Structure formats: structure tokens, C-alpha cells
Amino acid sequence: MPSPTTEPATEPATGRRVSLVTLGCARNEVDSEELAGRLAAGGWELAADPEDSDVVVVNTCGFVESAKKDSVDTLLAAADTGRKVVAVGCMAERYGHELADSLPEADAVLGFDHYAELSDRLDDVVAGRKLASHTPSDRRKLLPISPVQRPAASESVEVPGHAQHGWGPRVLRTRLDTSPVAALKIASGCDRRCSFCAIPSFRGSFVSRQPDEIVAEARWLAENGVKELFLVSENSTSYGKDFGRDGASALERLLPRLAEVEGIERVRVSYLQPAETRPQLVKAIATTPGVADYFDLSFQHSSEQVLRRMRRFGSTDSFLALTEQIREYAPEAGIRTNVIVGFPGETEHDLAELERFLTGARLDAVGVFGYSDEDGTEAETFDGKLDPQEVTARVTRISALVEELTAQRAEDRIGTFVDVLVEQAAEDGEDAVGRAAHQAPEVDGECVILEEEPALKPGDLVRCEVVESAGVDLVVRPVPDADR
């Protein structure tokens, strides 16, 4: 296969400079790099500083209220530069003209269907031509109900992160940083109907990317300095469900292919649904060389009663059995999750069940969120809403427990050996910083690396002994002669 490239199709034109600002999750980071690739191919020059650009494109997040506020604040800050401002991403897709009406500072609000022609749309913005704002719709209705009928249909539907159709061996992506870690999208959308979540309505139905396409992008990322691939989607355990009979173990087959890509040191899987996590997938993640024994499991709660109202499945005992199964294969495996407390109808017994699960599971990292209504979700209509002050009290209670438990889990790692990917070299009196296999980017803590003679550089993978812990963070010392 020819080596994928991302050279612009045309030379950048003078006066056509654009900067991209990305908010939200790793999936949005992939989408921004795809947009950067499209804009470079359309002749736009990428500027790191909004002050140096003609247009600032803000890739917004629309998941929860705090993320929406951050998106609005960022759009306003971009407008303060005096440059043209364009809103794209989840908040723009979800609210469209409503966002445009409430935020006249944005020169355009464009949905996912504008991505293929974004270069031309930015030309319109610079020229002062008025663009009709995006009109939101339920994107689940754009693809067939049957997953196996979606692959062909998806070629005519804009799915962010799936823009390779028609580009042959070329990867339509431009890196926006020099980190040795990069997110790699394996699928988009979600077929689940969790009562608290609006994501499927604006991200659409679940669609897997083809394995060869993913591997080609992995090779390109490796050629561009990436050492760790961070596989992202809305639901990675569903990967391959739209491939028909051959899709049953598609992720298990994909992982070793990615781990074998020259230059890649580690592959990390994220966004696993506990109810869909098959024993063979657990084994593949825990035992495949080059794949981090790391499990990002979206438990959300453990009380059966609360989970049913969430339109999810599981229980404290079944979730504990899953964590035990993981540690039978890999005793030092990292397991992280998010939980929602204060969900409508949550009782003291339900909260005690969650505490029983968290205490027994020995998780490495837990995000604790208080329930709040999301526009257009089923849970918004539920009775049994808790007083906001009670929700806050429960968040405080569970957060305190989580802080204690995760600190204990990190302390248990003292004296063990970990493979640390260096992300920041030692400089200005500060130690080098990296992450072990059980630590995902930004959310799970980090490793502070004690070097007698600083020589490590970003991208190095070094064997270390854990000598101390501080919360979820570890202090480690390189042991060059240790067996990896």
C-alpha cells in the first residue's frame, strides 16, 4: 500500500489563514484534524494563533451544560480577536440556528453536513456572504435501522472522522500538535438509548470504519511521530456490528494489526460498554502484546433500579464479576469509569449499592457527575427529581469515597514496574512526565519521572519502578535493565 500523505492539494493562498480551536473529547480532536486536512487540501494555511488568522473555527462541545458554556465563552473570546468566527462541532450540530440567533458574534454556525465543503464555506465567510445557519435534525434517521445496511449508505452521509471515501491511500488528516499520543477513531454514533444522553440524536446511528482504513491511518500517524494510538468512538464494544457475520470479533482482530504497525509502542481502547464487553474482548485487550491492559468501562451506576431507569443493564454483582474477570488475565490492569449520582428516583439504598461497587471494584480512576436534565432526553421527563442541593451533597459524598479508593489503588502500585510513555521532557528544573499503561491522556493521572541525568524525550517508552504515589499520580524511577 502506498504511504498515506496529507500534503495540500494546492498551495496555500495569501490571506486565507485559519485557526482551529477544539473543545470536548478526543473524538472532537480527531474531527478537528480531519477538518484541518480538508482545509489544507482546499488551500487554507493553518495558523496556531487566532490573532494570525482570517477565520477562527471553533469545534464546540454540546454534551453537558458546563461544556455548552465553555463553547459559548470560547466563541465570544474568538470574536473578541476581531477575526471572523465559525462554530462547528456538536453544539453547532445540536442547536444550529438557535445558537446562531442567540450568538450573533458568530459569523456562521455550520453542522456536520457542511464539513465536506468547509473550505468553500470559509471563503464565503471571509467574503462577507451570509450563510444559512444549520437546521438540526435527528441524525439517527439518516441511516438504515439495520446496522448491516449502513456501510454503503454511510458513504452519502457526512460522518465526522469517516472522510476517507474517495481519497484512496491518502489520509485526510493534518496533525495539530506534536504529542506522541493521538486519538484514532474506529467508529461514530451510537445505537443505545440511554435515557440521560442526547448524543445519538446529533451524532447519529452507529457506523464502524473499515479495518484497512483504520490501519492505514495508524501507519500515517506512526510516520508522523505517534507512539500511542488512543482508539475512540461513542461505543467501541459495538465495533464491527455493521459488518454482518464477520463483525462478531472485529475489534479483537483489529487490535493485533494496530499493535504490529511499525513505530507504534502502545494501543489503548476507550469507551467500552460493560453490558457488551465480551469475554473474548477482555482477553484480547488484557493479553495482546502492544495493547494496554486498560479498560475504560462506562458503568454510570451499579444499582439495578437506577440502571433500568437509565435504560442500561447490569448490577453491582455483575460489574464486580467483570472487574474480577479482567484481573484474572491482568492483575495490574487499569480500570476507569464515570458515574452519575442523583439520577431521578435514586434512593439511599441505590447510593449504598454504588458505594459497595466502588469499594469492591478497586478502580484506578472515577469521574463523578451530578445528574442534570439534558434537552430532549427521556430522563428530562422523569418524576422523582432530587433537589439540586441533595444532588450536590451526593456528589461530594461519592467523590470523597472515590478520592480515597483511587489513592489507595495508586499506593498499591508502589514497588511494581510500569512502562511509561514520556510526553514531556525534563526542563527548567521540572521532572519529565509521562503515563503508564493504566493512565489514559488527561483523565487518569500521570507519572513523574525521576532521572539522575535527564535524557528522556517525548515518545520514549521506558521501564520504571513506582517509588511513590500522590493521589492517582505516581512517582517513578527508570530501571533501564528491567525486563519489559
For 421, the 3-state DSSP assignment is strand
C-alpha 197, offset from chain centre: 16
Cα–Cα distance measured from residue 231 to residue 213, given in angstroms and rounded to the nearest whole number: 14
Q: Where are the alpha helices (DSSP H) in 310-454?
A: 316-329, 348-361, 388-411
- How far is residue 294's CA from residue 436's CA, in Å, rounded to a whole number? 10
The reply, when asked if residue 194 is annotated as ligand binding, is: yes
Task: Enumerate residues 6+ apart whose C-beta is below 8 A from 459.
Answer: 180, 225, 227, 421, 422
Q: Check whether 190 is labelled as a binding-site residue.
A: yes
- Give just the sign of the alpha carbon dihedral 381, 382, 385, 388: negative
Instruction: Give the span between the Cα atoms of 62 and 162, in whole angstroms.
Output: 20
Cell numbers standing for residue 261: 504497525
| 464 annotated to bind ligand | no
The cell numbers describing 128, all together, are 462577507
HEC sequence for 202-237: HHCCCEECCHHHHHHHHHHHHHCCCCEEEEECCCHH
Nearest CA-CA partner of 172 in 25, 48, 41, 16:
41
In Å, what is the CA distance from 439 to each residue of 334, 389, 475? 7, 33, 13
Where does 246-315 have alpha helices with state H?
250-259, 279-287, 304-309
> What Rg, from alpha-carbon coordinates, does the chain have?
23
Please report, in range form, the residues annotated as the binding site.
25, 61, 90, 190, 194, 197
Please report, in range form, the residues annotated as the binding site for [4Fe-4S] cluster.
25, 61, 90, 190, 194, 197
